[in-house]
Amino acid sequence: MIGDLLIPSDRKIIMLIMDGLGGLRNDAFPQTALEAASTPNLDRLAANGACGRSLPIAPGITPGSGPAHFALFGYDPLAPENDAGRGATEVTGVGFELKKEDVAIRGNFATINSEGVLTDRRAGRIPHQEGVRICEKLSDNIREIDGIEIIIMPVREYRFGLVLRGDNLNPAVEETDPQVVDMKPLPPRAMNKDAEFTAGIISKFIQRCNEVLSDEEKANTVLMRGISSKPDIQPFKDKFNLDAAAVAFYPLYRGVAGFCGMKLIDTGGYSPGEAFETVRSGYREGFNFFFIHIKKTDSHGEDGNLEKKKEVIEDVDSNLPAILDLKPDVIMVTGDHSTPCALKSHSWHPVPFLIHSDRCGRDRSRAFSEIECDRGSLGVFPAMTIMPRALANAGMLKKFGA
């Protein structure tokens, strides 16, 4: 329906995502990080805007970051075609242009002992430069297996991406990471007959890696995970008529944005200041939608570190004028899901959401926090409906029916 209602416009929309933003209160945590943080800029947006709570997937469902971001971008996170594999997501996230026929794999460098038993699933968390060196070593030695092109790329630290390119590939192959140490990696098993050729290629690839890496102390084997191909997703531009820029540092978020056809913009680093500066520098370059991803709120939530999570939120807030000065027509601030310090993990709790535009209307929310968003006019709503709200606030949707 939205596609039929779109109106061309030069208005600009900013979607600012603080990963894992939402929290919860209990005896141990009488305040959430967002409540504890001093956020005068976000509070002013909330007080002058409209607030509510965004439900990432469905009630009670704790989302992974992939489906949560698909929902934020207006795609049904439960639709099979939007179920992007981790391999495809990560290689897209580091800027690789997957073709439809490729198989993409997320690799871990790992350590095995002389019996081939796994002793470290992350190769002692080797630093990023080591990962880059080992990827180059593998690339120099393994370029092709049985007519299939082998493309290896560093992702971050002990993680790398592998793309198989050629005919008759099929991603229905089981992962080789046993998820625990003290056992041998699993064989790459084909889930159906059509994937047997691909399973064979992966098996030979592992063997070749073991040979090439036999002189390495830590990264002497590889684990194959998230074996997948490029999802067939309607481009964001077709869906919403928006030229979108993704300002995100981490591969997964860049990957999801890349699947949707957003332009991936390099940030200098992961800090809010760097992200906002990147938006400023691209603001006049023909984009009218900016997705900004801030990661560390989630990381500190996972650690249960309320003080640190609070500091990241305060860092976002104090740097916010850099993008508010651009006077975007619509700005939305929310998270992809909650990561309460009280739970030290992703959770299903609805996420504080604010939207600010000249058409949003003001409601009873006086600040940006979980309980103030509960006072808002938007209620608890599916994250998938955020994009239509953004378009409406930007004046980009015409009336439905006479």
Sites of contact with a copy of itself (CB under 8 A):
1-2, 5, 23-26, 52-53, 57-68, 77-78, 83, 86, 89, 226, 252, 340, 342-343, 346-350, 358-364, 370-371, 374-381, 385, 387-393, 397-402
* 166/258 with CB nearer a copy of itself: 258
* 113/345 with CB nearer a copy of itself: 345
Q: For residue 113, give the nearest of 220, 6, 12, 235 by alpha carbon.
A: 220
Q: For residue 396, give the nearest of 70, 72, 3 by alpha carbon.
A: 3
Burial of 13 by CB count in 10 Å (0-12 exposed, 13-18 middle, 19+ buried)? buried
* 171/350 with CB nearer a copy of itself: 350
CB 358 within 8 A of CB 72: no
Shortest Å distance, C-beta 100 to a copy of itself? 21
| Token pair for 93 | 């996230």
Q: How far, in Å, CA of 240 to CA of 277, rounded?
A: 25
* 61/212 with CB nearer a copy of itself: 61
- Which phi and psi (to 5°) does residue 86 adopt? -65, -35
Shortest Å distance, C-beta 336 to a copy of itself? 11
CB 85 within 8 A of CB 229: yes
* 128/364 with CB nearer a copy of itself: 364
| Token pair for 197 | 């050729």
* 67/188 with CB nearer a copy of itself: 67
Q: How far, in Å, CA of 90 to CA of 85, rounded?
A: 9
* 145/313 with CB nearer a copy of itself: 313
* 143/364 with CB nearer a copy of itself: 364
Shortest Å distance, C-beta 64 to a copy of itself? 4
Shortest Å distance, C-beta 381 to a copy of itself? 6
In this structure, the strands spanning 144-145 and 118-120 are: unpaired
Shortest Å distance, C-beta 204 to a copy of itself? 27
- Burial 160-178, CB ≥16 within 10 A → b, else e: bbbbbbbeebbbbbbbbbe
- Which phi and psi (to 5°) does residue 18 adopt? -100, 110
Give the Cβ contact number of residue 182 at 10 Å: 9
Shortest Å distance, C-beta 225 to a copy of itself? 10
Residue 218 is classified by DSSP as S
